[in-house]
Structure 1
């Protein structure tokens, strides 16, 4: 129990660090609500929608056409390095904390247009927007 509690505490400290560090490059990451997130995705040509939740979390469903790369995976930066940095990236997690940290990492790795879904997929679902089973 203590180990799990410590792990969660350490995880959130890292997430907070990345969120705060994203303030150094505010132009690259835009935090937007679910209405705007959906609107911009729908108007984008071949958007890259990135779900940074764990395998267990994505089993409950994802935003349509999302690709999963688990932010907590040790190889997260190696995996995002394989993505097209010229594409606009729409990133989300469960409630917005991990995706904000992941968005900061994306911006720090040269992605110029990154949108973070405030409130995560929970806010998305609260609006009644569709969620599909992950086929990845």
Structure 2
């Protein structure tokens, strides 16, 4: 499900089962990330799927990338793997106005 920045962040902040997933490359993550996010690089192909399959399907995942395209793909893959709640950040971190950590 695609959510705009405000919906995505506000929903995450009130979600006791919420986990933020950054699907960018390690190099991109090193330039700054949303605090508390875990990194699972979607470009790792099967490696990405293996890591996602280890996640708890009972949790809710707030997924982002640089601009929103990779994270939309990640949400689709997660749904195919049986995750019911995966939320894509429209616009990605490039349009993010919330907190950033380096």
TM-score with structure 2 setting the length: 0.95
The equivalent of 1:56 in structure 2 is: 27
1:3-18 aligned within 5 A: none
Q: Any unmatched runs of 5+ in structure 1? A: 1-29
Higher strand share: 2
Secondary structure of the corresponding residue to residue 122 of structure 1: helix
Deviation, 1:46, is 4.1
Structure 1's consecutive aligned runs of 4 or more residues displaced over 2 angstroms after TM superposition are: none
The equivalent of 2:58 in structure 1 is: 86
Cα RMSD of the aligned pairs, angstroms, is 0.8
The equivalent of 1:111 in structure 2 is: 83
Higher helix share: 1
CA deviation vs aligned residue, 1:98-118 (integer Å, no higher than 9, x gap): 000011000100000110000
TM-score with structure 1 setting the length: 0.72
